[in-house]
Amino acid sequence: MFWSVTTGSYLKLNPTEAVKDPSIFKVARLFKILEGAMQDDKDNLIEKVRGIYCFKVKNSEGKEGMWIINAKTGRGSVVYNGKEKPDVTFIMKDEDVVDLISGKLNPQKAFFQGKIKIQGNMGLALKLTELQKRASTRIEELKAKL
């Protein structure tokens, strides 16, 4: 169970079997690029964030997947169906995560529009905006190379 800021009540997540192949999600490629940006981090973003993020994503076909972004240790990592306990979890649609990571979707605006459900550390959730802004340039550079 988690507290939903949107509804002002506790919500229970129904356990679902995650899809084994992440390539069916639009966001899979961007998470790979994000991991590359983290590994090549010259701005030391990990030091500024220090948290473990979880993205629970549902695609247009209703399939669900989960990515764990460890921005707490080392240079960070992005793992599909990772087992680490997240500090904050975002529950979103596939296309909304793509827009969020690419900078087309403002996190606060998306939250108030109900496009993001958040559970866990709200302070860390707010740091996502900083991480998004700092990483977006690097993500665009890496996408151009692909």
In whole angstroms, give the CA distance from residue 20 to residue 8: 33
Q: Does 54 have pLDDT greater than 80? A: yes
Residue 62 CB contacts under 8 Å (≥ 6 apart), including other chains: none
Q: Does 11 have pLDDT greater than 60? A: no
In whole angstroms, give the CA distance from residue 35 to residue 31: 6
pLDDT digit string, tens, across residues 126-136 = 887 766 666 66
Dihedral sign from CA coordinates of 31, 36, 40, 46: positive
Q: Does 46 have pLDDT greater than 70? A: yes
Q: What are phi and psi of 135, to 5 degrees?
A: -85, -20
> Taking a C-beta distance cutoff of 8 angstroms, is the pair 101, 142 a contact?
no
**pTM for the full model?**
0.78
Q: Using DSSP, state whether 51 is helix, strand or coil.
A: strand
Q: In the predicted model, what is the mean pLDDT of residues 70-91?
A: 92
Q: What is the pLDDT of residue 58?
A: 96
Domains defined along the chain, listed by start: 26-144 (3.30.1050.10)
* pLDDT confidence tier of residue 15, bands split at 50, 70 and 90: very low
